[in-house]
Amino acid sequence: MSANPLPNVLLTGFAPFGGETTNPSWEAVQALEGEIVAGHRIVARCLPVEFEASLHALHHALEELAPTLVICVGQAGGRAQMSLERIAINVIDARIPDNAGLQPIDEAIVADGPAAYFTGLPIKAMLAALRNAGFPVEVSQTAGTYVCNHVFYGLMHALRGFPGVRGGFMHIPYSPAQAALHAGAPSLPAAVVAQALRLAVGIALTIEHDVRMGSGATH
């Protein structure tokens, strides 16, 4: 008789978009494929940067893998730190078209959905652990209004049907190669992001109740 398979952690990244040829969010999560963290196996999936197709791919992965934990990762070029997102809002307001050429403006993600969902991750405990390990990280109060927020909101909406499953979203900066093409914008190597994600997964799997620490914004 074979041993019971390990429970899954789903990490998602995105395909390139906006004229970029790479996306470090996918490079980082792909690097962790198959790793074992806190008795769970990491499974990586790449989501298209398309409003409709991204949620189809995400829902398929949720049904296929029945994960215990889901962390979606996306790129926010110009940010200097990794951002643990606190809240997803029920709106699409696309500054640029997605990779399918669609550019919805002022549309709801879910017509009858709530205005917002808060993350299911212990982001303050993750923040403390990541900072203590020397990673540049912050809590962010906005995931934008593009495909990243769309996926974050769609994830939290979908997880209503998966009791006990934690989920959330992290934004990361440009890679160094990308930053060189963007007037020296802040950057972080995908390998460093992967190390931080490994630690973040461990915290999310083992910390039941989040800690209280100030990390709000004044503007």
The residues assigned a catalytic role are: 85, 148, 171
- Is residue 105 helix, strand or coil? strand
Q: Report whether 111 contacts 30 (CB < 8 A).
A: no
Q: Report whether 59 contacts 72 (CB < 8 A).
A: no
Question: What letter would DSSP give residue 166?
Answer: E
**Burial status of residue 212 (CB atoms within 10 A of its CB: 0-12, 13-18, 19 or more):** exposed
Ramachandran assignment for 109, one of left (phi > 0), alpha (psi -120 to 50 degrees), beta (any other): alpha
CA distances in angstroms from 138 to 96, 97, 126, 218, listed in the order given: 26, 28, 10, 14
